[in-house]
């Protein structure tokens, strides 16, 4: 009997969690649709709760502010990055893993009209644009964790992978800024390959300079 009760409790807990997830997704979908239709500043929390058919209290159970709806959606990119790192071929080098995972995600994102529209919304809304930089901190942490899971977790590797993640995410930020500046002769895939080529070449050149000054390093 105890086993049956435990199983039944687990099922009920799963149903509750599923219901919460569905409510959160409904609020998020309603909010993003309204932001794209009316603009971020032109949308109120009351507009969102009405569209999602939830109470204002329920909204704040899931999101502390309108801004957090946008960035909760945006944070999913970090989780997708971790999955993409794990999905790369087993025999790939660390450079191939990083480049393959990020290029794949960027191409997927660029083919999603909603992602593109929300990216434009963020760039055009000062309060969102200011907060947008925090996403890179989360990306850096998620990338470090994913690389540690794949390539080792020794104390020495932790530092190396954290430094590498910081450099890669900075390259992603700079590349994104350059891409958003205007028209390009290259496709997005070619542009990404060019940026990664510059990154690896720069790291190799710096390593060579260090070894010239100190052959023992």
Could you read off the pLDDT of 88-106 as tens digits, one per residue? Answer: 999 999 999 999 999 999 9
Domains of the chain, earliest start first: 2-66 (1.10.10.60), 75-213 (1.10.357.10)
> Is residue 194's pLDDT more than 80?
yes
> Is residue 149's pLDDT more than 70?
yes
- The size of the chain, in residues, is 217
Helices (H), 112-154: 113-124, 126-132, 134-151
Give the pLDDT of residue 183: 65
Give the pLDDT of residue 217: 64
168-178 tens-digit pLDDT: 999 999 998 88
Give the pLDDT of residue 30: 96
CA-based torsion, 178, 182, 183, 188: positive or negative: positive
Supply the pTM of this predicted model: 0.79
Give the pLDDT of residue 185: 81
Q: Which of 24, 168, 31, 11 is nearest to 99 (CA)?
A: 168
Q: Which of 37, 6, 134 is nearest to 78 (CA)?
A: 134
């Amino acid at each position: 009997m105890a086993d049956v009760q435990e199983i039944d409790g687990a099922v009920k807990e799963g149903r509750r969690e599923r219901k919460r997830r569905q409510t959160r997704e409904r609020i998020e979908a309603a909010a993003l649709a309204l932001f794209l239709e009316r603009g971020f500043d032109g949308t109120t929390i009351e507009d969102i709760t009405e569209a999602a058919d939830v109470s204002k209290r329920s909204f704040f159970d899931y999101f502390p502010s309108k801004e957090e709806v946008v960035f909760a959606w945006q944070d999913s990119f970090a989780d997708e990055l971790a999955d993409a790192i794990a999905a790369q071929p087993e025999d790939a080098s660390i450079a191939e893993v990083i480049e393959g995972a990020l290029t794949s995600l960027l191409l997927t994102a660029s083919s999603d009209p909603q992602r593109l529209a929300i990216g434009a919304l963020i760039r055009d809304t000062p309060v969102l644009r200011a907060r947008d930089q925090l996403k890179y901190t989360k990306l850096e942490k998620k990338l470090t964790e994913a690389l540690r899971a794949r390539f080792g977790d020794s104390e020495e590797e932790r530092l190396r992978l954290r430094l590498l993640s910081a450099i890669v995410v900075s390259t992603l930020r700079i590349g994104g800024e350059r891409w958003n500046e205007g028209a390009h002769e290259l496709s997005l895939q070619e542009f990404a390959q060019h940026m990664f080529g510059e990154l690896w070449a720069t790291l190799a050149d710096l390593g060579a300079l260090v070894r010239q000054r100190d052959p023992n390093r």
